[in-house]
Chains A and B, each alone.
Chain A
């Protein structure tokens, strides 16, 4: 088994608050792995710690077998990219789509920028008409597609998804999820996806981890979750809550 991402005993502390309490995790290459839990359970913090946006107090993170230090180098960013939760906040308000996509290429010194931008936009289903728009000229779904294009333009092997659809309405949600599924299949990407929507996780992921208060509760497969074969009380409660929501809706 080759692990794309392996985390061991990761701790994140913000001003004495332990946001993550020794979480361990292993994601296989090409796998789609889900993180679920209520708000404040530390799932987003885990993603941010992997990306280097939250400080790791102790524990190790290894990407494709290489252990990461406190500072991430450029090679890391070409392996791991992230899509943020809020498409309204993740695009620079004063830059066109073209400029947004050019920035990573300029940082990493790609010469064939023109072609790559075109390809990235085509891949996420946005035609040339969107290339020179500012983000305020785009809808939520279009913005999230731009954010996905930006994450993919460096051709990473691992994509961190922080509730990529929770800010979108239901029909657009499905479109974006299908797009992500399709890209993963085509590019053989590894996904680590955070969501509090169990339906999305069971649809998108093969395995998942349930988190609570900064700790891992249990690891399940999607099939176990669908069959309600959880072993821990907390997970059962979570499932019940999610079912209840479905019934009233």
Chain B
């Protein structure tokens, strides 16, 4: 593509007089993207997350060995080498392969928690904030109760009741992580519910349901996305913690937290068994944190154009 073609495409995106709905939306996305990609660290975070997605998608191709079947006779607890880049664990399994397959479980947990917790929080918060009165009081007291429980302890109790397993760990984490989202959504709702543009929609005869869904939620979503992204690292750590305690993923599932737990018995002599998954958790958590910080700058409705 020539320089002029790129320039004209940019002009089209940044046009002050968009000619169609699509152009207006694309232009807005482009502005947010430019603000985001100007931040080097945030861009690094995005690259880490993209790398995680690619690794998870291509795990079958990338992993040199099976993640669950090891060679008990010949390759127990080998140090990192050309044949086994991250070494092998006590059952003779290649740790690199396990870390690569573990990325799937990490993504699984993170995405499921986000899909369950964020909409619950958004719904509870916006409804409470917009309705006010006793609806607000009841919903927020329920939120307070959930907030008062220590997160890991509630997750523990939940897993203890339903039985260990990665699905139950996901449910337990989701149930304990929606209250902060509800609070954010409620706070955002309170700042806009009395504004003239919401009054104007009321004056058109819009139902409260429509106002919350189409006019208030879009305003809350960007701060919620930021918060969820920043929480991802915490979610990964909680999932790893549950795995470490033996209440999350069960063996032989290559989940990073469970891998650290099994490696802790020989952490002094064979450090790589616990070290590799630990390092993977560190990198991915860092990636989500950097991404979240960058999104805050790019999406914050209070910066730049309103």
| Residues of A near any B CB (own CB < 8 A) | 51-53, 72-74, 76-78, 81-82, 84-86, 89-94, 96, 98, 103-104, 107-108, 128-130, 132-137, 147, 150, 154
Contacts and interface: CB of A to CB of B under 8 A. Distances in A.
A81 B196 contact: no
Interface stretch (B136-144, B164-172, B197-205): B197-205
B180 to A, nearest CB: 23
A96 B28 CA distance: 11
Interface stretch (B14-22, B86-94, B115-123): B14-22
A130 B17 CA distance: 6
A164 to B, nearest CB: 12
B99 to A, nearest CB: 41
B24 interface: yes
A77 B204 contact: yes
A132 B196 contact: no
Contact of A133 (B16, B197, B201, B203): B16
B196 A90 contact: yes
Contacts of A72: 205
Given A72-B205, A133-B16, A133-B17, A107 B210 contact: yes
Interface in B1-27: 16-21, 23-24
Interface string B209-229: 010001100110000000000
Contacts of A154: 204
B-side interface size class: 20 to 34
Contacts of A98: 21, 24
14 contacts: A53-B199, A73-B205, A77-B203, A77-B205, A86-B196, A93-B305, A104-B204, A108-B204, A130-B17, A132-B19, A132-B20, A132-B21, A136-B306, A150-B200
B252 interface: no
A134 B31 CA distance: 13
A103 B204 contact: yes
Contacts of B206: 103, 107
- The 4 A-B residue pairs whose C-beta atoms are closest, nearest first, are A77-B205, A90-B196, A132-B18, A129-B17
A91 B305 CA distance: 14
Nearest to A76: B205
B133 to A, nearest CB: 13
A82 B199 CA distance: 10
Contacts of A129: 17
B205 A74 contact: yes
Given A93-B306, A129-B17, A133-B17, A51 B200 contact: no
A82 B201 CA distance: 11
Given A89-B195, A92-B215, A147-B200, 13 more contacts: A53-B202, A74-B205, A85-B196, A89-B197, A90-B196, A94-B301, A96-B24, A103-B204, A128-B19, A132-B21, A132-B23, A133-B24, A134-B305
A93 B21 contact: no
A82 B305 contact: no
Interface string B128-162: 00000000000000000000000000000000000
Contacts of A77: 203-205
Contacts of B16: 133, 137
Contacts of A104: 204-205
Contacts of A84: 196, 199-200
A85 B204 CA distance: 17
Nearest to A162: B196
B194 to A, nearest CB: 10
A132 B19 CA distance: 6
A160 to B, nearest CB: 9
